[in-house]
């Protein structure tokens, strides 16, 4: 299987990579959906509820307590998967990275064309005047971060109950539909509408790299059941 993957990568000039949470967990970013006993002691609501737009508006204090604890993570480094994709882009092999992650690790590794379907923790805007703040600036503030104008600062991430950015979606769909090879990695392909985007691929080289089976395995031309960083570092 690795031989096939190697050959396809060598022959391809227009690869698109579509990645999910598994790409980030290999950098040490925990899955925020993990709800254990410790979580229940700390939070009275499930993660999906706290990360909804309605909750943010109603209870920004609790939202930011969770957000600072589980989401706003910047002291991590890209892993071999991020670096390999950045290298392919430089070599003119890779057209774009489409990601469900919001941690900015692809850019940190050097990737330029990154379509972040769910936004980024590195962009934050005042809800009143629109002023921009970095993740680092947010970390220096306590509790609910507020702008110099007094407005509440909101992370530019797609919350539950919010629509995906149409412009980002369009560019991602365009890239996927014209790719000569689509590598899908570190995602269980259950979060829609993002997961449905792989249906747009029209080629014969759809590679699925994931530790466990996905509901879309029947679509794949090649399936590899290993961690994404480990697989890409061998190429």
Q: Which residues bind Zn ion (CB under 5 A)?
A: 126, 128-129, 131, 147, 149, 151
Q: Nearest to residue 134, comparing CAs of 123, 120, 148? A: 123
Question: Of the two residues 111 and 124, which places its CB atom closer to Zn ion in the complex?
Answer: 124
| Closest of 190, 154, 195, 150 to residue 71, by C-alpha | 154
By beta-carbon proximity to Zn ion, the closer residue of 40 and 128 is 128
Tokens read off for 20: 């999910």
CA atoms within 13 A on the CB side of 133: 24
Q: Which two tokens stand for residue 97?
A: 């990275």
Q: 57, 74 in Cβ contact below 8 A? A: no
CB of 147 to Zn ion, least distance (A): 3
**Which residue of the set 82, 106, 118, 122 is catalytic?**
118
**Nearest approach, Cβ of 140 to Zn ion (angstroms)?**
16
Q: How many Å separate Cα 224 from the centre of its chain?
A: 20
C-alpha span between 129 and 147 (Å, rounded): 8
Is 118 a known active-site residue?
yes
Report d(CA 123, CA 157) in Å as an integer. 8
Closest distance between Zn ion and the C-beta of residue 145, in Å? 11
- DSSP, collapsed to helix, strand or coil, labels residue 67 as helix
Take residue 159 and report the two structure tokens written for it. 């919350």
Least distance between Zn ion and beta carbon 116 (Å): 23
Residue 72: both structure tokens together: 């706003």
Q: Which is nearer to Zn ion, 65 or 131 (CB)?
A: 131
Cβ proximity to Zn ion, 144 vs 219, nearer residue? 144
Catalytic residues: 118
């Amino acid at each position: 299987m690795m031989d096939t993957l190697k050959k396809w990568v060598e022959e391809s000039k227009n690869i698109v990579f579509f990645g999910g949470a598994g790409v980030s967990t290999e950098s040490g970013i925990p899955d925020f959906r993990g709800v254990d006993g410790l979580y229940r002691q700390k939070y009275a609501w499930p993660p999906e509820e706290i990360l909804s737009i309605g909750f943010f508006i109603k209870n920004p204090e609790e939202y930011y307590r969770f957000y600072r604890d589980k989401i706003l993570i910047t002291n991590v480094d890209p892993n071999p998967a991020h670096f390999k994709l950045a290298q392919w882009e430089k070599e003119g092999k890779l057209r774009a990275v489409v990601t469900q992650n919001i941690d900015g690790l692809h850019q940190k590794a050097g990737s330029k064309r990154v379509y972040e379907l769910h936004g980024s923790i590195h962009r934050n805007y005042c809800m009143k005047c629109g002023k921009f703040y970095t993740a680092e600036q947010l970390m220096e503030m306590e509790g609910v971060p507020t702008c110099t104008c007094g407005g509440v600062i909101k992370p530019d991430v797609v919350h539950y109950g919010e629509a995906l950015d149409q412009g980002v979606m369009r560019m991602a769909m365009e890239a996927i539909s014209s790719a000569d090879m689509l590598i899908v990695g570190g995602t269980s392909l259950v979060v829609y509408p993002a997961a449905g985007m792989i249906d747009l691929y029209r080629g014969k080289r759809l590679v699925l790299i994931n530790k466990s089976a996905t509901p879309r395995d029947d679509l794949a031309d090649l399936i590899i059941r290993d961690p994404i960083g480990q697989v890409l570092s061998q190429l």
